[in-house]
Amino acid sequence: MTETTRRFKAAAVQAEPAWLDAEAGVAKTVDLIAEAARNGASLIAFPEVWIPGYPHFLWLGAVADQVPFVGRYHAASLAPDGDGLTTIRRAARQHGITVALGYSEKDHGSLYITQTVIAADGSVLLHRRKLKPTHVERSLFGDGDGSDLKVVDSALGRLGALNCAEHVQPLSKYALYAQNEQVHVASWPCFGLYRDLAFQLSAEANIAATQVYAIEGSAFVLMATQVISPAGIDVFASTPEQRRLLTPGGGCSRIFGPDGRTLTKDVDEGEEALVYADIDLDEIDLAKNAYDPAGHYARADATYLVHRREARRPVVREGSPAEAVLPAFPALDDEIPEP
């Protein structure tokens, strides 16, 4: 049984990615990890596909217009056994901090919207893929499966994570609530896309969805978001119409308590910052006394969830295990210099 620290400081990232540049993205990630650790944080949460940044090109025109970006995006994505992720794991170990990283995972020819939670010793606690990419994301990314809906024990309590609009999937949320999640990482892109055109994609709507997650799950929720600058928009937008669809700012990182309270001060939507909150896991018991939808407040005689935990594979070899197996993350050899 993992010994749990009941009180600690957590940080959520609000920053601009190094668009389509894995090397620069890894370097910025290591810098933010060091900054959070210097400020006393034991956990840092990063946005959705922080490396190599959210693929805004998917939303800005015809499929044919995406072609110049797809190869670049694939090349800038991270493989679990690659140098980039290994460098980030070493940074977590060097600074003694748990890291919840959102990134585009490269698995040979396929990409996935992935979250990997790295313990303070550099080991991997959780590796999951977004169960269903949202809308046009499906033209670039593949699906996760039921084995990805997992909460894990850690030194900081029971940790779980979801990406973006997974926070409006009631059954996926309920699967994590039922695993007694205590600290949840909600990874989002920026909210400068389709501003004033699609309220479902707005900061207001998705802050509300994330806050509801905290209330329903009686969990601390770290909401990490990206920012996009005018220079970032230049990467993706080349016409007046595209610039109308993608506007600067879009950051709204914050941390919610298990009763839904906002524990952090708001920062400007265009500002790069780490937002911090003090976590006290004992507050969860009080919150659950009111609402515990997968516990005393459940009515399994009326409704219940079937959660299939088996990994979905295109080829099943006789005698092979059905459960999910972590990718081959390399060992962090102490003989390799730390960053």
Residues designated catalytic: 48
Please name the residues in contact with 109: beta carbons below 8 A apart, sequence gap of 6 or more: none
Q: Give the whole-angstrom CA distance, residue 22 versus residue 186.
A: 22
Dist. CA 4–CA 281, nearest whole Å: 9
Q: How far apart are CA 152 and CA 176, in angstroms?
A: 10
Exposure of 97 by Cβ count < 10 A (0-12 exposed, 13-18 middle, 19+ buried)? buried
> Could you identify the residue written with the tokens 């900054």?
35
Residue 52, preceding bond cis, omega within 30 degrees? Answer: yes
Q: Give the residue carrying structure tokens 């190094």.
A: 18
Residue at 156: amino acid letter: L
- Which residues make Cβ contacts (< 8 Å) with residue 316, sequence separation at least 6? 322
Q: What is d(CA 251, CA 121) in angstroms, rounded to the nearest whole number?
A: 30
Distance CA 35, CA 41 (A): 9
Spatial separation of the C-alpha atoms in residues 203 and 192, rounded to whole Å:
8
Report CA dihedral (76, 165, 161, 211) to the nearest 10 degrees. Answer: 130
